[in-house]
Structure formats: C-alpha cells, structure tokens
Amino acid sequence: MSLQFLDFEYSEDSQGGGSFDAMASVRPAQLDAVRADIAEVLRWADTAFAGQCAPRDEGGEWDVDLQEQSDGASPPWHVLTVSISGSAHFCSAFRQRFGVD
C-alpha cells in the first residue's frame, strides 16, 4: 500500500536519529483514508521494530505523537498531524520503506 495523503518530511538530530513529520487537512470524506495511511505506517513500525516503541531516552527505537482536531465548521476540516522519531537504524528503514528523502 502506498500512502495517499501523507508526505513525510525528515529531519536529523544531533544524536544520529531523526524525525518524520506529516500533516493532512481534509474534509470528512477523506478522513478514513488519512487514518488508513497513518495505520499503515504504524503497523509497519510496530512490526519491523516490535516491542521497541518508547522514547529514545528510555531505550526505544521509535516513538510517535499523533494529533487530530477539527475546526467545527460545517462540513468540518479535520487536521491530523503525525510525528515519528527514531534511532538512526529506524530512520534508515523508514526512509527506505516509505521513500522519504
């Protein structure tokens, strides 16, 4: 499955790891597709790095922050943001799997 709505930006940190950040702002009709993209990414991470989701300073290989909010308009805009951080090994695998430069 290729991602339809998420386009991750990558940034490295000074300790050899990095983070991937993406945001999608959609109407209700696209909300399930965005959630499916996020689920695909998290499913891959949880499979490829099973049992290793925790902050790096606590020994984890990867961690995630997921936010979702809507603006209350009719129809509403839903904004989803996902930030995934990880070790150099995790970041290399993520970049290869999802084609992130």
Indicate whether 84 belongs to any domain. Answer: yes
Q: Domain containing 39 — which CATH number?
A: 3.30.300
pLDDT, tens digit, for every residue of 51-91? Answer: 999 999 999 999 999 999 999 899 999 999 999 999 999 99
* Percent of the chain at pLDDT exceeding 70: 99
Question: Structurally, how many domains does the chain consist of?
Answer: 1
Eight-state DSSP code of residue 56: G
Could you tell me the residue range of the domain that residue 29 belongs to? 9-98
pTM score? 0.93
Give the pLDDT band of residue 1 (cuts 50, 70, 90).
low
Report CA-CA distances (Å) from 16 to 11, 33, 95: 10, 32, 14
Average pLDDT over residues 10-38: 95
Indicate whether 15 belongs to any domain. Answer: yes
Indicate whether 2 belongs to any domain. Answer: no
Indicate whether 4 belongs to any domain. Answer: no
Indicate whether 3 belongs to any domain. Answer: no
Give the torsion through C-alpha atoms of 40, 42, 44, 47, to 10 deg: -140
